[in-house]
Amino acid sequence: MAMNTQGRPTAPGTATIAEIQTFTGNRGLDHEEPLIFEIGDTGRTGVDLPAAPKAKSRLGGLERSAEIGLPGLTEPETMRHYVRLSRKNYAIDSGLYPLGSCTMKHNPRLNEKMARLPGIGDIHPLQPQSTVQGAIQLMETLARYLMELTGMPAVALSPKAGAHGELCGMLAIKAAHEAKGSKRDVVLVPDSAHGTNPATAAFMGYRVKSIPAMADGTVSAEAVKAALGPDVAAIMLTNPNTCGLFEREIVEIAKVVHEAGAYFYCDGANFNAIVGKVRPGDLGVDAMHINLHKTFSTPHGGGGPGAGPVVLSAALAPYAPLPFIRKDGDKLTLVEDASEAGDAAPFGRLTAFHGQMGMYVRALTYMLSHGSDGMRQASEDAVLSANYIRASLKDVMSQPFGGPTGDRPCMHEVLFDDTWLKDTGVTTLDFAKAMIDEGYHPMTMYFPLVVHGAMLIEPTESESKQSLDQFIGTLRFLANEARHGNDKSRFKEAPMLSPRRRLDETKAAREPRLRWRPAAAKAAAE
């Protein structure tokens, strides 16, 4: 029987998205969500509470002089608000996340399950150590595995992020120099290092001396040797570097640094490219932080519950911060006080407690579920994925360090520049914004700074070939449109399909609005 279509058109109309105006401001099931202050009302509440009893204030003149002004919402309103906001987020669980040097990799759900096990998810850092021997053993096992993977004799688990780890490693270096009576105030930082490296050194009071990269994007041992002197405390070098390249002269660099009486700090944020393939300790590294989220699949810290353990050479091991684990037969002790440190000379402590237990559990789960061969394969697959993208796009996008034919291999991330966009009227920013309309979060733009119009792409080992092929196809399509298409508005006006259109970024930077004001107050001010 034929379906009755009377009064029900079966073909779409001709109206374009831009022409459709809705009463609500919503776009289909994508809701236009106001700020929570615009939804709630200070005179409304989702619960009924009795009036607070009168009591004498103990705030000593610090009482509020006016109402706090928090919005009142019902539970359904609150739930809908945050669910709607979450639907506007782009995350690794919703699509490929090609941020270079950030390693937005899949977080296995097994890790989450283990972190929530009774006895792990509900322990407290102030419990007596006798009641948390299992947790301390877990930390000792993770520490032992990290030392084995890096070829280093000591590790500090407590740093809570990569930059925090940098601070830890450099404080150990400073303590080692002070123990020898050596006063050095210069730190060498190559141009291809992560930006947090010079920031950490400067924060500690060191003078930062930059080392330029060679034409091939790597650091020359000769350039390092020429910059060394009796005032140099350390070099902070990222390997693989932010150009996605392995530092081929790293052993020679370590040698000349040590001969000058300095220490070698290696930024290990890109360790995920070489796990199971290269041990940094064998290369002459003295200190290196490890971003657990980048290499061992813990959630990306985002300023929150991250972890950046630091492995240390024999020369720096005595200066590892408190707390550290001591093994005496079958008994494990978390040494919390310098008076109990024995022959060690810890420089102090970085955190109130022991670090982030939840991240330790997730990282160890990843290690145990993969084994040494699985972790090695993850590194190989990450490098393979990046090189697959590089080889697939080398004929349409230019590489600053790809060689004459674009065939020079990269590590875990591939770097393109904007040479191929010359005379198109399209910039790196325009191209990245157009990716949003295609459903992709943009790659890292304009970083590293040593490359003009940089586009840094890291696919990680988590993506399937099908996923990579669709991504490559999208970039090829956009590249062709940028170079040969007649309509550049798809780039200059992008993104057009996102909840918010492009800002005037110059004005936003110069005249930022960092505080919300009610419409009435705003109108009165104007």
Q: For residue 462, give the CATH number of its domain.
A: 3.90.1150.10
Q: Are 275 and 137 in a shared domain?
A: yes
Burial 159-179 (b: 16+ CB within 10 A, else e): bbbbbbbbbbbbbbbbbbbee
**Residue with token string 């359904």:** 76
Q: Are 469 and 341 in a shared domain?
A: no
* Predicted confidence pLDDT, tens digits, the chain (526 residues): 455 555 555 555 554 555 677 787 887 788 888 888 888 887 777 778 888 888 888 998 898 888 887 888 888 889 999 999 998 888 888 999 999 988 999 999 999 999 999 989 899 999 999 999 999 999 999 999 999 999 999 999 999 999 999 999 999 999 999 999 999 999 999 998 888 999 999 999 999 999 999 999 999 999 999 999 999 999 999 999 999 999 999 999 999 999 999 999 999 999 999 999 999 999 999 999 999 999 999 988 655 568 999 999 999 999 999 999 998 888 899 999 999 999 999 999 999 999 999 999 999 999 999 999 999 999 999 999 999 999 999 999 999 999 989 999 999 999 999 999 999 999 999 999 999 999 999 999 999 989 999 999 999 999 999 999 999 999 999 999 999 999 999 999 999 988 888 888 889 899 998 888 877 655 655 5
Radius of gyration of the chain (CA): 27
Q: Are 352 and 433 in a shared domain?
A: no
Condensed to tens digits (0 to 9), the pLDDT of residues 357-392 reads: 999 999 999 999 999 999 999 999 999 999 999 999
Total structural domains within the chain: 2
**Residue with token string 């995920």:** 272
- DSSP helix/strand/coil, 186: strand
DSSP state of 197: H
pTM score of the predicted model: 0.90
**What CA–CA distance (Å, rounded) separates 145 from 368?**
10
Structure tokens at 376: 């090695």
Percent share of the chain, pLDDT over 90: 71
Q: Are 298 and 447 in a shared domain?
A: no
Strands (E), 348-472: 414-416, 444-445, 455-457
**Residue with token string 């640094």:** 257
Region for 284 from its dihedrals, namely left if φ exceeds 0, alpha if ψ lies in -120 to 50, beta otherwise: left
**What CA–CA distance (Å, rounded) separates 209 from 193?**
12
Q: Are 310 and 425 in a shared domain?
A: no
Question: Which of 348, 365, 382 marks a domain boundary?
Answer: 365
- Phi then psi dihedrals of residue 415, to 5 deg: -110, 125
Mean confidence (pLDDT) of the chain:
91
Contact present, 468 and 459 (Cβ < 8 Å)? yes
Structure tokens at 40: 């709630």
Q: How many CB atoms lie within 10 A of CB 437?
A: 16
**What CA–CA distance (Å, rounded) separates 150 from 285?**
10
Residue 498 lies in a domain: yes
Residue 94 lies in a domain: no
**What CA–CA distance (Å, rounded) separates 244 from 100?**
9
Residue 376 lies in a domain: no
**What CA–CA distance (Å, rounded) separates 196 from 202?**
10
**What CA–CA distance (Å, rounded) separates 114 from 391?**
39
Residue 9 lies in a domain: no
**What CA–CA distance (Å, rounded) separates 202 from 207?**
6
Q: For residue 277, give the CATH number of its domain.
A: 3.40.640.10
Q: Are 443 and 342 in a shared domain?
A: no
Q: Which of 286, 305, 247 is nearest to 115 (CA)?
A: 305
Q: Are 307 and 221 in a shared domain?
A: yes
First to last CA, the chain: 65
Angle formed by the axes of helices 357-393 and 465-484, nearest 10° = 50
| Cβ neighbours for 429, distance < 8 A, ≥ 6 positions apart | 445
| Domain containing residue 157 | 110-365
Condensed to tens digits (0 to 9), the pLDDT of residues 27-73 reads: 778 888 888 888 888 777 777 888 888 888 899 889 888 888 788 88
Structure tokens at 520: 């009435």
Residue 69 lies in a domain: no
Q: Which of 254, 255, 303, 297 is nearest to 275 (CA)?
A: 297
Question: Which of 325, 342, 365 marks a domain boundary?
Answer: 365
Q: Are 445 and 331 in a shared domain?
A: no
Q: Are 462 and 343 in a shared domain?
A: no
Q: Are 318 and 449 in a shared domain?
A: no
Residue 139 lies in a domain: yes
Q: Are 135 and 203 in a shared domain?
A: yes
- DSSP helix/strand/coil, 99: strand
Residue 211 lies in a domain: yes
Residue 61 lies in a domain: no
Q: Are 358 and 441 in a shared domain?
A: no
Q: How many CB atoms lie within 10 A of CB 494?
A: 22
Q: Which of 257, 251, 243, 254 is nearest to 214 (CA)?
A: 243
How far, in whole angstroms, is CA 386 from its chain's centroid?
A: 18
Q: Which of 264, 305, 320 is nearest to 288 (CA)?
A: 264
